[in-house]
């Protein structure tokens, strides 16, 4: 028995597409955007938002810089003010320390067995004619390292001046009043004086320590 397929009706067949009645010459790239919200709106909005964010960030950074500059200027002004006060305090402290040193030296000399007047008078008695004392520097800030430095001139040649200076040092060592005050008397320098024909000398008399005085 032969198999027969049902015949398709002509009305059920797919209709043929009607050809366009004229060519499509539209340029879609140049056609206007007819969307409800255009694409350029989002682009412009994003650009403006980025610009505003950049302006805000720059403004904030400038504010921070100005704030830091203000703090730096205030700190510098405070430093300058304190530095001036500190310099004045250091100056007054130095003046006070110098005066305190002078008072301590004067007090230490007063506590010795001989007064300043007696000391000068005794020096004048022991001074030979060829010897001239220009200065007597008392250094008595330290009770155990106090000393008197004599500076002056000795007349004569180098050999004569050397002999006179040595004899003067020996007379100071053997002086009864000075012997109880000074632990040692030594000639530390003897050089030609450029201002005169004499020899300049320096003699150091070291006071006895507190526990060694008799």
Helix (H) or strand (E) holding 178: helix 176-179
Looking at residues 6-10, what average pLDDT do you find?
A: 52
Classified as helix, coil or strand, 213 is coil
195 in helix, strand or coil?
Answer: coil
pLDDT at 150 (0 to 100): 92
Pair of tokens at residue 76? 């510098």
Q: How far apart are CA 91 and CA 172, in angstroms?
A: 40
Single pTM value for the model: 0.47
Task: Confirm if 190 and 161 have CB atoms less than 8 A apart.
Answer: yes
- 52-92 per-position pLDDT tens digit: 888 889 888 888 888 888 888 888 888 888 887 888 888 88
Strand order in 131-139's β-sheet? 131-139, 147-154, 199-207, 182-192
Among 123-127, 129-133, 138-142, 153-157, which stretch is predicted with the lowest mean pLDDT?
Answer: 138-142
Q: Report pLDDT for 144.
A: 61
Alpha carbon distance 120, 127 (integer Å)? 11
Give the DSSP H or E segment for 47.
helix 39-110
What's the mean per-residue pLDDT of the chain? 77
- Specify the length of the chain in residues: 214
Q: Is the pLDDT of residue 96 over 70?
A: yes
pLDDT in tens, 13-44: 555 555 555 666 566 566 565 555 556 666 77
Banded model confidence at residue 100, pLDDT cuts 50, 70, 90? confident
Percent of the residues in the chain that have a pLDDT greater than 90, as a whole number: 12
> In CATH, which of 1.10.287, 3.30.70, 3.90.550, 3.40.50 is domain 116-212?
3.30.70
pLDDT of res. 188: 92
169 CB contacts (<8 Å, ≥6 apart)? 185, 186, 187, 203
Reported confidence tier of residue 136, pLDDT bands at 50, 70, 90? confident
Instruction: With H, G, I as helix, E, B as strand and everything else as coil, classify residue 184.
Output: strand
Q: Is the pLDDT of residue 191 over 70?
A: yes
Q: Which of 79-83, 126-130, 204-208 has the lowest mean pLDDT?
A: 79-83
Higher pLDDT, 195 or 164: 164
According to the per-residue pLDDT averaged within each range, which of 92-101, 122-131, 163-172 is highest? Answer: 163-172
Q: Give domain limits for the chain.
A: 37-111, 116-212
What percentage of the chain carries pLDDT values higher than 70?
70
In whole angstroms, give the CA distance from residue 115 to residue 152: 22
In a 13 Å sphere around the CA of 38, the CA atoms on its Cβ side amount to 7
Is the Cβ–Cβ distance between 197 and 210 less than 8 Å? no
Q: What number of other Cβ atoms are within 10 A of residue 82's Cβ? A: 11
């Amino acid at each position: 028995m032969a198999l027969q397929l049902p015949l398709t009706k002509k009305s059920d067949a797919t209709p043929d597409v009607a050809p366009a009645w004229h060519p499509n010459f539209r340029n879609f790239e140049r056609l206007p955007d007819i969307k409800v919200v255009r694409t350029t709106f989002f682009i412009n909005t994003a650009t403006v938002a980025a610009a505003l964010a950049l302006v805000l960030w720059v403004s904030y950074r400038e504010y921070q810089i100005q704030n830091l500059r203000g703090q730096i200027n205030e700190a510098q002004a405070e430093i300058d003010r304190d530095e001036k006060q500190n310099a004045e305090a250091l100056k007054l402290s130095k003046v006070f320390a110098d005066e305190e040193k002078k008072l301590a030296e004067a007090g230490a000399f007063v506590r010795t067995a001989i007064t300043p007047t007696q000391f000068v008078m005794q020096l004048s008695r022991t001074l030979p004619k060829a010897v001239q004392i220009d200065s007597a520097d008392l250094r008595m800030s330290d009770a155990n390292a106090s000393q008197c430095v004599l500076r002056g001139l000795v007349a004569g040649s180098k050999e004569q001046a050397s002999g006179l200076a040595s004899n003067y040092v020996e007379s100071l060592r053997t002086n009864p009043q000075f012997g109880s005050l000074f632990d040692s008397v030594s000639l530390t320098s003897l050089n030609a004086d450029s201002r005169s024909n004499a020899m300049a000398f320096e003699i150091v008399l070291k006071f006895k320590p507190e526990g060694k005085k008799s």
